[in-house]
Amino acid sequence: MLEIKNLKAGVEGKDILKGVNLTINAGEVHAIMGPNGSGKSTLAQVLAGREAFDVAKGSVTYKGQDLLELAPEVRVREGLFLAFQYPVEIPGVNTTYFLRAAVNAVHEHHGDAALNAVDFLKLMREKIQLLQLDESLLKRSVNEGFSGGEKKRAEILQMALLNPTMAVLDETDSGLDIDALKIVANGVNTLKRTDNAQLVITHYQRLLDYIVPDFVHVLFDGRIVKSGGKELAHELEEKGYDWITNGELQTA
Amino acid sequence: MVAPANNAVDRLLAALPTRAEGGARFAELGFPTTRDEDWRFTSVAPIAELDFTAAEADASASLKGCVFSEIEGPQLVFVNGHFSSELSNVSELPAGVEIGNIAAKAFESAEGEGAFGALNAASYSDGAFVRVADDVSFETPIRVYYLSTGSDGATANIRNHFTIGANSKATILESWTGTDGAYFNNIITELAAGDNAQVEHVKFQDESTAAFHVAGLRAEMGRDSRVAHHSIALGGRIARNNIRARLDGTGIEAVLNGLYLPRGKQLIDHHMVVDHLQPHCDSHEYFNGILDDHARAVFHGRIHVHKGADKTDAKQTNKNLLLSDNATVNTKPQLEIYADDVKCTHGATIGQMNAEQIFYLRARGLDEESARRMIMHAFAGEIIARIGCTLAREELDKLVWDRLESTES
């Protein structure tokens, strides 16, 4: 589904990703862990199409297409969704209005009929329960004044509405208390199917107790330095990132 | 040929029916120049260059295409500053509500601030009159239409008096529109809100983009009154709003809320002074502007918290969105505080579209153009959402949106 080959990217002349290789197949859940500054969020932003990052080398193939050639909006319409680490506040844009525009942009892309207000509300009510969000949020401006936990849950609500085939979750667990984390994880798990895939980027092993990955990769200094099964996450938790930064894995 | 300013004063006074006293004061003051601190960013030289004539009544003018047409109830219509009894409707008013034109009333010739105020005091002929007695809650919005059909230099001096009594409630909706000429409207509006009165005043200004519009609003507020003034400014080659709010009673809540959308070579200027004279009053100023082409905007907001006006809560924000590299904003928030225990904030921003917001919307499937529009709409919508009168709010929201869409294309 997603094949990243020797991806090198940076921002303002600074190299951040220095040759990332990763293949994700349908039905799989992958986790990327790594210390601060290892390039985790850059990878997420490059996949979503953030123009501030320059791709110097490498390729990303998504469902047989050259992903890097696609505009950000086309990527998400084609099913590649990024849950933001820091969801953006947009004062004055009503959340319901925004979500409906997003859902209908995806529908239109696939030649499906746009949802009318009534059908959309029905869909949204169903999804909002999954994330245990208060309906009053829908009347407010996008992310404005939301608590940290509400913002992260709202990201997963958007994921539920857009129903992606390849979801990238960028530190969706950061700043969440354990109850909110369980709600988010439950939401993500509910959306898992055999024909879609998830890439979970996290700093903490804790999330992976609730979203159980098939594969764990360690990103360090712009490269994936170790890959393994879910037990790798536990190993990291025990030994800490020093285990990697001390150079023991550099040869891996 | 640029006419010398004093010559312009003489020509203007000669063209208009003038009361001697105000005329002398205007002649003494002359047109302001950019050396005058209050007019630093707004040159009125193009007004002084006009070939002035007294704007005349025009029986062919109509309300076709005007805003607030869905609203029923009393309406006053002025054509080129002259009251049109044919187009106006002030029948079936409840007891305690008087609506009409001021020419029909006897008034002391009140002074106006500065040269334009003096000119208005000297030459005003008519304007709207609304008086709501004490303890009357008049729920129907009162609409006042000012239509201009004058050709270049046609000058109208208009004076409005709005008085809302103690414990009373009223909504006044003004609409300023005109045909293509470089006409000149010089307006003074006196708004008095009694103790515990509740007033909403919406001014929709969509004059010809060749026209000149200089307007002074003087709002006097009684204790515990709540007054909201909304300035939706779209038109005029030069449009200047002088807004003066005097909070001379305790517990007053004043909201000055404005949106300006100049484009082409328009200049829209809001010049505000809010005086806090008594304790426990709130004043909030919210002004957003979206500028395109070579347009200019000026925001001057002074909050003066006088000695003794303790516990004042004054907030002022001015946000500007520039759609073109050639657009200019001069923003000057000012706070003068001589009281204790006050909460005063002010802030101004001038910027392009926020790239992070646009990316976020694109990452949710919206194309770049839709994302830009959604953010622009939000910028305008934030101001319009504060209009309490639902029908006016919905109509202005749509109208402003259509205007922005046409800016984009």
Q: Are B331 and B319 in contact (CB under 8 A)?
A: no
User: How far, in Å, CA of A165 to CA of A76, rounded?
Assistant: 9
The single residue listed with the structure tokens 């004076």 is: B159
Tell me, what's the ipTM?
A: 0.95
Chain B residues inside the 8 Å CB shell of A92: 375, 377-379, 381-382, 385
- pLDDT for residue A246: 72
* Token pair recorded at residue B261: 């959308």
Q: What is the mean pLDDT of the segment spanning A165-193?
A: 93
Query: How far is the CA of B229 from the CAs of A35, A149, B284, B330, in angstroms?
Result: 53, 38, 10, 22
Using the beta-carbon criterion (under 8 Å), do B363 and A93 form an inter-chain contact?
Answer: no
| Per-residue pLDDT tens digits for B102-160 | 986 655 656 778 999 999 998 998 999 999 999 999 999 999 999 999 899 999 999 99
Using the beta-carbon criterion (under 8 Å), do A105 and B370 form an inter-chain contact?
Answer: yes
* Token pair recorded at residue A154: 């709202």
Among B177, B185, B253, B258, which Cα is nearest to B219's? B253
Chain B residues inside the 8 Å CB shell of A90: 357, 360-361, 374-375, 378
- pLDDT for residue A17: 96
Please, which residues 355-394 of chain B have a Cβ atom closer than 8 Å to chain A?
355-357, 359-368, 370, 374-375, 377-379, 381-382, 385
- pLDDT for residue A35: 87
Which of A163-177, A210-224, B105-119 is the least confident region?
B105-119
Q: Is the pTM of this model over 0.90?
A: no
- Picking from B321, B362, B376 by the largest number of A CB atoms within 10 A of its own CB, the best residue to mutate is B362
Going through B18-96 in order, the beta strands assigned E by DSSP cover 53-54, 75-79, 82-83
Judged by a CB distance cut-off of 8 A, whether residue A51 touches chain B is yes
Using the beta-carbon criterion (under 8 Å), do A105 and B366 form an inter-chain contact?
Answer: yes
User: How far, in Å, CA of A215 to CA of A233, rounded?
Assistant: 9
| Per-residue pLDDT tens digits for A119-146 | 999 999 999 998 888 888 888 889 988 9
Which DSSP letter does residue A89 get? P
**Which strands form A65-66's sheet, in the order they lie side by side?**
A14-24, A2-11, A54-62, A65-66
Using the beta-carbon criterion (under 8 Å), do A72 and B377 form an inter-chain contact?
Answer: no
Query: How far is the CA of B221 from the CAs of A136, A208, B120, B162, B293, in angstroms?
Result: 36, 61, 23, 12, 39
User: How far, in Å, CA of B67 to CA of B64, rounded?
Assistant: 9
Chain A residues inside the 8 Å CB shell of B379: 92
Judged by a CB distance cut-off of 8 A, whether residue B347 touches chain A is no
Judged by a CB distance cut-off of 8 A, whether residue B313 touches chain A is no
Q: Where are the domains of chain B?
A: 5-353, 354-409
Chain A residues inside the 8 Å CB shell of B357: 88, 90
B128-132 vs B154-164, strand pairing mode: parallel
Using the beta-carbon criterion (under 8 Å), do B360 and A88 form an inter-chain contact?
Answer: yes
- pLDDT for residue B273: 97
Mean pLDDT of chain B: 93
Q: What is the mean pLDDT of the segment spanning B384-405?
A: 92
| CA dihedral of B363, B369, B372, B373, whole degrees rounded to 10 | -120
- pLDDT for residue A251: 47
Judged by a CB distance cut-off of 8 A, whether residue A102 touches chain B is yes
Q: Where are the domains of chain A?
A: 2-245
Q: Which residue of A has its CA nearest to B362?
A: A73
Q: Is the pLDDT of residue B229 over 70?
A: yes
Which DSSP letter does residue A154 get? H
User: How far, in Å, CA of A188 to CA of A201, rounded?
Assistant: 13
Please give the CATH number for the structural domain made up of A2-245. 3.40.50.300
Size of interface A-B (CB pairs under 8 A): 74
Q: C-alpha B116: how far from its chain's center?
A: 15
| Per-residue pLDDT tens digits for B340-356 | 999 999 988 888 888 89
Distance (Å) from the alpha carbon of A47 to chain B's nearest alpha carbon: 10
Name the pLDDT band for A252 (thresholds 50, 70, 90).
very low
| Per-residue pLDDT tens digits for B327-385 | 999 999 999 999 999 999 998 888 888 889 999 999 999 999 999 988 888 889 999 99
Q: Which residue of A has its CA nearest to B381?
A: A92
